Amino acid sequence: MGKIIAMAGKGGTGKTTIAAVIVRLIKEKKLGSVIAIDADPNSNLAQSLGVENRSNIGEILDGIADNVPEGMTKDRFIQLKVQTAIQEEDGFDLLSMGKPEGPGCYCYVNNILRSVMASLVKDYDYIIVDNEAGLEHLSRRTSRLADILIVVSDSSVVGLRSAKRIIELVSELKFEVKKSFLLVNRFNKNIREEQIKEAGLDYLGNLPADPGLEKISLEGKSVFELKPDAAFLKAFNLLGDSIWKLN
């Protein structure tokens, strides 16, 4: 059974970049098969992984219309079509949720994603999910959100408050999460220990501001272009060991 590692956090904290780095490390460490799921309609995960986003669930739903074959249910047909949206890349697979046109469609995309996830956990060792900034869009979720939820914050008060709100939503919406962590990106030494504790999550650790990574992000390049001796990768390698060993 695959391990679901989900990312959440305020926009701009670097959660998409961190999701991409996790995929990179799983690939390089040869920890097992991995699929990256971009569950944010503002899709940037493919770019961070250095690949082109060729299809998404939203586009599939827009194109279904009345094309369901006779004798097949619409849901079954969509599930089959979604399988074709999974991109096979070098050392990892990718699935993007996207956002369909029309009111009320987003909830349906989430429903489809949930059913797809149920099968993906049987096919991959790791499922890395980059969620939208908040978790309200998953309010109808009835299955597990993650084995590990990594809530990413920067060192700002706003970022840490957002992290606290996210974990409150997890409780309010009764998501099934085995373990939740706070990860502080672009760490500032002025951040106080009590601020971290107030977020109400186990503290995974912090990652340094890395000019090389910032340059890659600004230029829209892949995390695979980050040098192995980069400070960010060194720091995340140490934190990552805690994640891989978690049952």
pLDDT mean over 42-69 = 81
Between 124 and 135, the higher pLDDT residue = 124
pLDDT in tens, 118-130: 778 888 999 999 9
pLDDT mean over 8-29 = 91
Q: Say what percent of the chain tops pLDDT 70.
A: 87
First to last CA, the chain: 11
**Coil, strand or helix: which one is 202?**
strand
Which CB contacts under 8 angstroms, 24+ apart, belong to 157-162? 157/195, 158/10, 159/9, 159/10, 159/13, 160/195, 160/196, 160/198, 160/199, 162/9, 162/10, 162/133
Q: Which domains does the chain have, with CATH numbers?
A: 3-244 (3.40.50.300)
H or E, element range at 60: helix 57-64
Other C-beta atoms closer than 10 Å to the C-beta of 52 total: 10
pLDDT mean over 5-34 = 92
pLDDT in the model for residue 35? 95
